[in-house]
Structure 1
């Protein structure tokens, strides 16, 4: 079975096993070797490509991007950044003018990341390029090049974003035509569903197409129509049968279709962004004979604000989650900016991060401290639970065969909420310790406490003994000091390459003291922590 997508402006067909990566296909089948293989795990950015669909233009890592995820999308590699006639993109000219390339291995990834940021009007160059590593230049000439190119207009040959697509920094899934009531069948039906009005509770509206961005495609049944400069526009077809290459792959168009199929195929692997599953294939060399790719189930990615609650569809990317929480939970937003790289955040989903159940995942401590509710679905049956009850033991969650994470709901506000992360590197690193805090104080007395940690146990876990030691006490430094010894009753952390057990315990206590200082304005002192 083949899929179709746009590659550098040309309609192409690809086939292979469901877990063949775009990087391998580009280099081996198409001879496009500008896209490099560095880490093969989504960390170095040498394989960065531009992917455009109804969610906007995004920088993604080709090394952990599987071919079926590209059905109906537009892909540009470094070979497609310049014009067909050879005219350089502004970022390419700037890289030359500012000597931004030395050995050159990382340069293609930098150029593509810069081109995506340029297209989206993103001037936060440090964040946009944090996922691209360079061992030669020291980054300064690259950043100067990005700043110089930022004032240049977007080249006409790159203005092929589909109408109504939201920029990558916005929450745009709920705004795409037809996503409110997508087809329930297995794959693309070939007909456009009736457009559904965006609910007023959607986080952000899609921007109207601008006059200087010519219309070069349309959303058809959730698939972007292919526009080949040498031929009329034709819709890109998505397989209607759940077969791709030599393995079984299903591309559901809705949560209903996924629920029906997964109930009948509970042994399948669900793939949303592939930022973790991709490493199962590229590093662990695992064979995944039956998979479902969820990125076309747009209703599964909707973010909605209803009353005093925010509901995140499991398929919402971390970039979209960041846009939704930035003004409400600045502490969580700061944490998300340290979640992988821009490329990883553009693919990784909040549901995947939770369902993975990692004891050092970044989001669970924050979500548990916020009192998040997890929504699970199995066929037509739905159930919900406090998020902390989902994690049972290392590698084990309260999820039945054929059941999947459908959404996560949190309160609309939590003024006292904070989350802190410690890691060896500031950017793009796994937590050694991550702690979430939300304490309610009335008349100087602690009435409710929610404290949760990652990296302190085999699962993300609440600090129940510490919470009990604080509840009913005055919100004071004396109460904090009294509660600190309870950490050893709650946690017995491991020592590993990221941190020692002692460091983790002392850091957890330090985070509580930091939280107290931040929420009360108390003076702090500096003390040496033993290694």
Structure 2
């Protein structure tokens, strides 16, 4: 049973565990303003806003793709759709601006665009900030429109504040308390379980070790929309308090850093990365749309174990570790740690034991002199899957390279470090001879396959070219004009 607020009205619905928010809206509730476009989280036509209380208790809304958001994750939340924004003839500023700027033609994608603008309007009310081109691109980058050419939509975003602030009064209402449905979530016969603590999670894992785990669902729910899969039982980790923490820590080996809870979304992680790892933060803008970053998690990207996942190569290059959790002989909590290098075993196979889950990922603090570069090759500049991704970490000491870690995605059945190429560079000056040896060593590290995203030869050449790019970047940094020539994710 799902208890939530829909456009200010309480709703209580039953749904199978694989039901999406979009299905619940259109097929169960008959609320059809939200449209289905791609059914894979790419086009944004189904964008809705989900509100939940922040640490200060204030309701905050984020955009989400309804087609790949599990309906049961609405428990205790506010759901806002395009159907609920207007009050009689008084349009919400997002709607009024779209009308005034002629931002809609066929209208199919318009509901999703309006909802992205709605979340932007809410953010501006709570914390006004300049609407830079970069910010507008982030907000609207997940909404495709084949008719308008985007300029009128951008104009609408920039002009929302000149329209009367006609907001439904229920937007400021308090969200229903999650505790009202917690007992129901944990019922032994429930098919969609929502544990709220680590102990409850381990109880669920002990009782249902074969259940599918879900966080952001940005990949898992494609099984339902693209393959018509049905899930017997699902365990939702997004409500587990311990999995939503970002905690500073020091490992036994003396490294400082942060344990990132497996349910922390990319959007929550982004400020930390912007402060310490600009290259990693930059990658997030190419990982997916704002809707995807609002829902997707670091833990899910790792557990998915895709050879073309974007974040694992970066974490391998940084020397990350994992904290895994599971039931202790059916009672209590058992934890263990392992290096991320030891987690990926083979295609879609990991070191997770039956009934285990990822609790947190250790992100090391940058060491003195360390540099990180991350370059992603894909057919589209944004919101696309990688063909090849290279992540390179190193530091220069007395003119030679130290602590060299080179990791790639798309080059093997798993995200993998280039051990032979690393050895060719470790302790060497970053000159042409050393990098030639490193490029040649890639043949010992990888034998990539051909698929729709690129041939084996393309991948081999691209990986070698990324190493050559790394050499040029290091050389250029020693000049008077250390500006790197590249296509930024926000190329304005």
TM-score (norm 1): 0.82
* Change in CA separation of 1:135 and 1:525 when aligned onto 2, cut-off 3 Å: closer
- Hey, what does 1:213 align to over in structure 2? none
**In structure 1, C-alpha distance between the alignment counterparts of 2:296 and 2:159, rounded to whole Å:** 30
**In structure 2, C-alpha distance between the alignment counterparts of 1:241 and 1:8, rounded to whole Å:** 23
- 8 A contact 1:388–1:460 mirrored in 2: no
Paired residue secondary structure (2:137): helix
**In structure 1, C-alpha distance between the alignment counterparts of 2:258 and 2:170, rounded to whole Å:** 33
Q: What is the CA distance between 1:259 and its match in structure 2?
A: 1.4
- 8 A contact 1:263–1:403 mirrored in 2: no
- Hey, what does 2:411 align to over in structure 1? 456
- Hey, what does 1:387 align to over in structure 2? 340
- Hey, what does 1:113 align to over in structure 2? 116
Q: Does residue 508 of the first structure (1) align with residue 463 of the second (2)?
A: yes
Q: What is the CA distance between 1:142 and its match in structure 2?
A: 0.6
- 8 A contact 1:5–1:75 mirrored in 2: yes
* Counterparts of residues 265-304 of structure 1 (less than 5 Å): 265-304=208-247
Q: What is the CA distance between 1:10 and its match in structure 2?
A: 0.5
**In structure 1, C-alpha distance between the alignment counterparts of 2:181 and 2:219, rounded to whole Å:** 27
- Hey, what does 1:207 align to over in structure 2? none
Higher mean C-alpha displacement, 318-327 vs 514-523? 514-523
- 8 A contact 2:91–2:166 mirrored in 1: no
* Change in CA separation of 1:105 and 1:355 when aligned onto 2, cut-off 3 Å: same
* Change in CA separation of 1:136 and 1:262 when aligned onto 2, cut-off 3 Å: same
Q: What is the CA distance between 1:117 and its match in structure 2?
A: 1.1
- 8 A contact 2:430–2:474 mirrored in 1: no
- Hey, what does 2:102 align to over in structure 1? 99
* Counterparts of residues 54-453 of structure 1 (less than 5 Å): 54-55=53-54, 56-83=60-87, 85-121=88-124, 123=131, 124-150=135-161, 155-157=166-168, 160=171, 216-217=173-174, 220=177, 222=178, 237-242=181-186, 248-306=191-249, 308-379=256-327, 380-414=333-367, 415-453=370-408
Paired residue secondary structure (1:4): strand
Q: What is the CA distance between 1:483 and its match in structure 2?
A: 1.6
1:521 to 442, 464, 476: 476
**In structure 2, C-alpha distance between the alignment counterparts of 1:454 and 1:377, rounded to whole Å:** 26
Cα deviation digits, residues 227-247 of structure 1 (max 9, x gap): xxxxxxxxx534525459x96
Paired residue secondary structure (1:316): coil
Q: Does residue 27 of the first structure (1) align with residue 26 of the second (2)?
A: yes
* Change in CA separation of 1:88 and 1:363 when aligned onto 2, cut-off 3 Å: same
- 8 A contact 1:4–1:238 mirrored in 2: no
- 8 A contact 1:370–1:411 mirrored in 2: yes
* Change in CA separation of 1:238 and 1:383 when aligned onto 2, cut-off 3 Å: closer
Determine which structure has the larger helix proportion and give its number. 2
**In structure 2, C-alpha distance between the alignment counterparts of 1:300 and 1:45, rounded to whole Å:** 28
Q: What is the CA distance between 1:295 and its match in structure 2?
A: 1.7
**In structure 2, C-alpha distance between the alignment counterparts of 1:510 and 1:32, rounded to whole Å:** 51
Paired residue secondary structure (1:237): helix
Across the two proteins, how many residue pairs are aligned to each other? 456
Paired residue secondary structure (1:505): helix
- 8 A contact 2:320–2:363 mirrored in 1: yes
* Change in CA separation of 1:263 and 1:485 when aligned onto 2, cut-off 3 Å: same
TM-score (norm 2): 0.88
Paired residue secondary structure (1:59): strand
* Change in CA separation of 1:256 and 1:271 when aligned onto 2, cut-off 3 Å: same
* Change in CA separation of 1:33 and 1:239 when aligned onto 2, cut-off 3 Å: farther
Runs of 4+ in 1 over 6 A off after TM superposition: 523-526
* Change in CA separation of 1:476 and 1:262 when aligned onto 2, cut-off 3 Å: same
Stretches of structure 1 that go unaligned for 5 or more consecutive residues are 162-215, 224-235, 527-531
- Hey, what does 2:330 align to over in structure 1? none
Stretches of structure 2 that go unaligned for 5 or more consecutive residues are 55-59, 251-255, 328-332, 486-492
- 8 A contact 1:394–1:458 mirrored in 2: yes
- Hey, what does 2:7 align to over in structure 1? 8
* Change in CA separation of 1:525 and 1:97 when aligned onto 2, cut-off 3 Å: closer
